[in-house]
Amino acid sequence: MQTETMTVNLGPQHPATHGVLRVVLELDGEVVIKCTPEVGYLHTGIEKTAEAKLYYKVIPMTDRMDYLAPMSNNLGYCLAVEKLLGVEAPPKAQWARVLLTEITRLNSHLVWLGTHALDIGAMSMLLYVFREREDLLTIYEAVSGQRMMSTYFRIGGLADDLPDDFEPMVRKVLKTFPVRFQEYENILTNNRIWRNRTIGVGVISKEEAIKSGITGPMLRAAGVKHDLRKARPYSSYEKFDFEIPTQQASDCFARYQVRLEEMRQSLRIIQQAMDGMPEGRYLARVPGVVLPTKEEALFQMEAMIYHFKLVTEGFHPPKGEVYVTIESPKGELGYYIVSDGGTMPYRMRVRPPSFVNISALSKLVVGRLLADVIACIGSIDIVLGEVDR
């Protein structure tokens, strides 16, 4: 019997691709024999735009790359510029940064869980996670005034002091979330459909994963115990006690388990950060480079002049280049900043974790059924804003 292959175009407008990803599949019956992801439908030109903005004014744009984890993006950028300048954020800022990036991790993983489950057919998960997400967004809003694009971190610290009602909100999250995670497990972990659709699907070996540059939870689900928070601690992560969850199976289910466990670990970190939050300034005191605090700018002449000069003219970092990576919820997020001594970055390169992770998609799906492609795309956890920048 003569068989012909069929080419199916998935996307760019497709509910299960988490945005505007396009996948061109070649099918033999229902089996995928070739898979080519096409990206770029959300290309925003952020790297180019950053070359025409003062160092401070790049921060809002970093939010809009991985829009599920805005604070992680801020953190990476701020750390890179701080390294360039030789500035270090004061302890309070560092701890608040840790706390908030872990909240960001929760936020990102929650939306991942909801959309992934939605793709596979468990619609109710989406509604649950969005209920929880509102608690996190309230915290965002309290600290920064914005629900999503917080832009809360500044070079050398934070934009403003933590608000008074910050602690009760965080405590509420710490109290309610473990119960919620149990709820998710009740719905999914032993659910027969969920297991059938994820176990053994999208397997990639450890060696292949490393060769494909996969990072983050996907790599840990393949059995590599590596987390930049432990391996190259930044922002005082070395002072926190947490585990790196790993799995060996390297399938969609393993990734689900890793992420769920990561959320639990994040709660542990948040707990420690909240309990031990140091007192003191939230911005480093480096006039001429770091913005003065709001009170200083309002009541001190000198500080106001610095503030004015920084906002209008910016600062001149030394010539050079830095590459700083952090563990974002998606994987290894890197910022490579080249300075030519001017007030704007000469070049800002973002090493996007989802971009590299999605490039390995064809290894996950070739030889499997069409329906598994959806599960695989979901389990990689991509955010198109970051893939395309």
Cis status, amide bond into 12, omega within 30 of 0? yes
Q: How far is the CB of 3 from another protein (least distance, A)?
A: 26
Can you tell me the distance from the alpha carbon of 49 to that of 273, in angstroms, rounded to the nearest whole number? 35
Binding partner of residue 171 among another protein, ligand SF4, none, CB cut-off 5 to 8 Å per kind: none
The minimum distance between CB 387 and another protein, in angstroms, equals 9
Two tokens, residue 348: 């800002």
Q: Is residue 64 involved in binding ligand SF4 (CB under 6 A)?
A: yes
Please report, as residue ranges, which positions from 146 to 205 form the binding site for ligand SF4 (by CB under 6 A): 149
Q: How far apart are CA 31 and CA 372, in angstroms?
A: 10
d(CA 181, CA 257): 11
Which residues of this chain interact with another protein, rule CB under 8 A? 12-15, 19-20, 39-49, 51-52, 60-61, 64, 67-68, 83-84, 111, 126-127, 130-131, 133-134, 137, 147-149, 208, 210-213, 215, 224, 226, 231-232, 320-323, 325, 332, 334, 336, 338, 346-347, 349, 351, 355-356, 359-360, 363, 384-385, 388-389
Work out the angle at residue 186's Cα, subtended by the Cα atoms of residues 180 and 188, and round it to the nearest 5 degrees: 105
CB burial of residue 192 (10 Å; 0-12, 13-18, 19+): exposed
Min dist CB 371 to another protein, Å, is 16
Question: Based on CB atoms, which residue is closest to ligand SF4, 147 or 172?
Answer: 147
Binding residue count for ligand SF4, defined by CB under 6 A: 2
Please give the Cα distance from 225 to 231 (Å, whole number): 10
The phi, psi pair for 150, rounded to 5°, reads: -75, -35
Query: In terms of Cα–Cα distance, which of 213, 220, 231, 226 is closest to 109?
Result: 220
**110 is in the binding site of which of ligand SF4, another protein, none (Cβ under 5 to 8 A by kind)?**
none
Nearest approach in angstroms of CB 39 to another protein is: 6
> Nearer Cβ to another protein, position 19 or 217?
19
Q: Which helix (H) or strand (E) holds 38?
A: strand 31-38
CB of 22 to another protein, least distance (A): 9
Least separation in angstroms between residue 372's CB and another protein is 19
Beta carbon of residue 254, minimum distance to another protein (angstroms, whole number): 19
In the complex, minimum distance from the CB of residue 300 to another protein, in angstroms, rounded to a whole number: 31
Q: Measured from the CB atom, is 53 or 64 closer to ligand SF4?
A: 64
CA 44 → CA 61, 67, 257, distances in Å?
10, 13, 33
Task: Closer to ligand SF4 by CB, 57 or 64: give it.
Answer: 64
With 0-12 CB in 10 A as exposed, 13-18 as middle and 19+ as buried, what is 332?
A: buried
User: Between residues 137 and 149, which has the closer beta carbon with respect to ligand SF4?
Assistant: 149
- At closest approach, how far in Å is the CB of 1 from another protein? 32
Q: How many helices (H) and strands (E) does the chain have?
A: 17, 8
44 binds, among another protein, ligand SF4, none (CB under 5 to 8 A by kind): another protein
The dihedrals phi and psi of 121, each to the nearest 5 degrees, come to 120, 0
Q: Which residue is nearest to ligand SF4 (CB)?
A: 64
Give whole-number Cα distances, 299 to 117, 352, 362, in Å. 52, 42, 59
Start-to-end CA span in the chain (Å): 47
Whichever of 148 and 304 has its CB closer to another protein, that residue is 148
68 binds, among ligand SF4, another protein, none (CB under 5 to 8 A by kind): another protein
Query: Out of another protein, ligand SF4, none, which partner does residue 41 contact, by CB within 5 to 8 A per kind?
Result: another protein
User: Which residue lies nearer to ligand SF4 by CB, 137 or 244?
Assistant: 137
- Neighbour tally for 320: CB within 10 Å: 12
> Which residue shows structure tokens 């952090």?
326
Residue 159 or 303 having the CB closest to another protein: 159
Residue 225, amino acid: K
Query: Which string of x and - marks every residue 234-273 that binds ligand SF4 (by CB under 6 A)?
Result: ----------------------------------------
Nearest to 130 by CA among 180, 93, 63: 180
* Strand ranges, E, within the chain: 6-10, 22-28, 31-38, 153-154, 157-158, 320-328, 331-339, 347-351
Binding footprint of ligand SF4 on the chain (CB under 6 A): 64, 149
